A and B are shown apart, each in its own frame.
Chain A
Amino acid sequence: MIKFFTQLGLYFLLLKKVFSKPEKPVLYYKQTINELVNLGFTSVGIIAIISFFMGAVITLQTAYNTENPIYPKYLIGLGCRDSMILEFSSTIAALILAGKVGSNIAAEIGTMRVTEQIDALEIMGVNSASYLILPKIVATLLFNPILTIIAIIVGIFGGWVAGTFSGVMTSENFIYGIQYAFIPYYIVYSLIKTLFFAFIITSVSAFQGYYVNGGSLEVGRASTKAVVYSSVIILLFNVILTQLLLS
């Protein structure tokens, strides 16, 4: 328990360092652009592929489990839409990003720690925590909502492709379904969750990397911890945010 609170204290102390005034904002701006590419653009492919197939599978599973004629066919489209918006695009995509982006951040910062690159920054008088972590947080906060929107669009498209090409429903039914009883607030809910999850992934992973002590073995462990802890915290916050935002 003491270890948990020590780690929690260290985490908040790190955040305090991260959010202190940047030395030279223009350099942070450049660094943020780099991180948008490294952490954001490079994730578009994996998110698009997974979303497409998730949308397709959700549609097929809904179709095969609701064959009773009581249920109108357009409900399959509605199910696909709401699943993608409410849960997949934010939570499941965040878990995927925790694996891809989180491990990347922990390994990068951890390697910088064990090879004394962070010490080199500190010796120069640079606030290493802020310089290394703040641009990553800003970049993911800016880009992850875009990934969420991409996941929603591609996932629904995947559902349409699977639904119509497999013949379980017509295109008209699917399109009617995704327009039926649409609640715009669900998009806001999803984007709010995404922002929280982006912050959790980046800050927790950076924390794991920043305090690595040892060599390559410890960097590997930090990378694993980053993914595990981020995922667990995301799931916990998913419950809390859902209760707060949808109740």
Chain B
Amino acid sequence: MIRVLNLNKSFNGKAVLENISVTFETGKTNLIIGRSGSGKTVLLKSIVGLHEIESGEIWYEDTLFNKLNFAGKKVIRSQMGMLFQGSALFDSLTVEQNVLFPLDMFTDKTPEEKIERINFCLNRVDIINANHLFPSELSGGMKKRVAIARAIALNPKYLFCDEPNSGLDPITAILIDALIKELTEEYSMTTIVNTHDMNSVMEIGEKIIFISEGVKCWEGNKNEILNSDCEILNDFVFANSLAKKLRDSGK
């Protein structure tokens, strides 16, 4: 479980996140949704410690993460996996070497055990016969899946995904969503996903918070989101014409 209490963050004096408090639950896919520029990525990066926050608390179970030093954060980070918007695979390394990297850095496994783990992770995300390809030789969807394989290589307790569907076609996007949800349940992880894709919201949104202009405006789940009385949220949810028609027709 991850708890965020009264988090504030600003850049050059401009408030980007204001007084955000939320609990992300274990074994669930927690979604942060909002328009582009609403502060979703800043919130996610603040939670993982890539941004220093002005005030507030970030708790990983019973550990106050944002007050830890580098060594303390390193312990928590060894339990984190993150999927970045652009996948962030290491260009100079092959698929196999990308997944091997955290194993090499943080485990004392034998070479055979490492290869076994790499193949397990790659098979788990349906990457077959691509071990020796470089990221530049992969499609967008494959890059995301390899990035997920790298993220789960160390069996993380916490999985963070920043816009996992950006740049993907709808079918591949659904596959990535399904994979994230399956892995969350399989390993009982606390997963936080940043998205503005309503398909993802309706597919995997077990717990959802909606952010607008750096302020948390709504919290609920995928069943409640269609019946909210939050006007800004409704503008977001029913932004496209298909959703509007469905709402107007009462379906």
Contacts and interface: CB of A to CB of B under 8 A. Distances in A.
Partners in one complex: yes
Interface of A: 23-24, 27, 111-112, 115-117, 119-120, 122-127
Interface string B5-18: 00000000000000
Nearest to A123: B82
Contacts, number: 53
Nearest to B147: A120
A116 B73 contact: no
B88 A117 contact: yes
A225 to B, nearest CB: 21
Contact of A124 (B75, B86, B89, B106): B106
B180 interface: no
Contacts of A115: 86, 88, 91
A120 B105 contact: no
11 contacts: A111-B91, A112-B91, A116-B86, A119-B50, A123-B50, A123-B80, A123-B81, A124-B77, A124-B101, A124-B105, A125-B106
A117 B86 CA distance: 9
Contact of A125 (B73, B85, B160): B73
Nearest to B81: A123
A127 B104 contact: no
A120 B86 contact: no
Nearest to A114: B86
B88 A119 contact: yes
B187 interface: no
Given A125-B74, A125-B78, A119 B105 contact: no
Given A119-B50, A123-B82, A23 B88 contact: no
A127 B74 CA distance: 9
B48 interface: yes
A115 B143 CA distance: 13
B163 to A, nearest CB: 11
Contacts of A123: 48, 50, 77, 80-82, 160
B84 interface: yes
B123 to A, nearest CB: 22
Contacts of A117: 88-91
Contacts of B56: none
Contacts of B81: 123
> Which residue, of A115, A116, A124, has the highest number of chain B Cβ atoms within 10 A?
A124
A117 B160 CA distance: 15
